[in-house]
Amino acid sequence: MDESGCSSHDEEIWASLIAKVVTGQEDDEAVWAFRFAVEGRVWNVVLSGRQNDPDSAKVRGPFRNLFRDPHAAEDFIAEFVEQIDRSRAKGRYRDDAFLALTRSDALRQIAAKELIRKRAISSVRKFSRGGITGLPDDASNPVSYDGGLDGGWGDQVGSSEATEERIPDSGMALLLRLQRGEPVLELQIKGDRLAAVEETAGLQTWVLLDQGCPSFRAIRMVVEGRVVGGISALLKAHVDGQQEIEDSLADCVTEIERHPAMELRRLDGIDRRRARLEARRIFEPLSASAIRDLLALPSLNAGEKRNSKYRSGVAGLFPQFDELLQAMELVDEDGESTP
């Protein structure tokens, strides 16, 4: 429903809902009602047509240079609503000022048009940066993440031909499986005994390693023989590391929400930070302190050196992801670790 045409009954329902949000006393019904209201607001900003009839939807003018079709816009809307709801759960809207606003005015503040546009640009950049979300093998080449000042689609990035030795599209199809948590990653090692950088790589990517690959047995021996607390301790460290990354990604979203009119240069900086976090989610979820504790290293600096050397050599350890690791900025073009 368009929030601009609310009846008095709708306003009463909204007043009860927003009171629960402001006081932090939402029940399940209120949570879903809040999400539905935000979704309706964003739908009407991004798309025309009836929300209960997706086939009638068309991308509105300001967003046509961002979304190729209504389905892509719908994916963004779902992502946006999820982020707004996370902000609600963290108390972002526990402000008495919302109690005095009508439904339409409150939704305009919660999901301002400028915020939606900025988040749409950021979303396009994140998902098309170097093919970060992966593509099917038969899909067209990925586009560049920034086609201009408005963040629209740019030129296509060439993809490699499929061969028996090389994963199609520089490993993007495999990357998508890794993002879903499938253990299909193969770590290349030079001998039966792992060097320090290879040990670190094994710890960092343990939950995503293909247990059928030739190197897995050697990696498992290191984990069982060297890690304090063994596999269970390593798994817990991964859970903690992933949560830390999730919190940092949520902070990026919150920063954009709180400053909807930020300059594109600042927005681009946030995008670069998110790209590094997305890379870390797969290839480096363990912090320096986690590496120190797992290997009983003498200092935090020793853990930092381990991770730094690992980042410097990560492309050689996972050569099928060389181009993507560069695009995702886990390593710089010269192979040095990022700050």
Please report the pLDDT score of residue 316 as a whole number. 80
Q: Give the number of other Cβ atoms within 10 Å of residue 204's Cβ.
A: 27
Determine if the pTM surpasses 0.75: no
| 137-164 confidence digits (pLDDT tens) | 333 343 333 334 444 433 333 333 433 3
Higher pLDDT, 331 or 82: 82
Helix axis angle for 103-110 and 28-46, nearest 10°, is 80
Mean pLDDT of 198-202: 93
Q: pLDDT grade, residue 199 (50/70/90)?
A: very high
Please report the pLDDT score of residue 125 as a whole number. 67
The whole-chain average pLDDT of the chain stands at 78
Mean pLDDT of 183-201: 86
Mean pLDDT of 275-294: 90
d(CA 25, CA 93) in angstroms, rounded, equals: 12
| 81-136 confidence digits (pLDDT tens) | 998 998 898 888 999 999 999 999 999 999 988 888 888 887 776 655 433 433 33
| Percent of the chain clearing pLDDT 90 (strictly above) | 34
Q: Is the pLDDT of residue 267 over 60?
A: yes
Higher pLDDT, 296 or 130: 296
d(CA 280, CA 287) in angstroms, rounded, equals: 10
Mean pLDDT of 217-225: 90
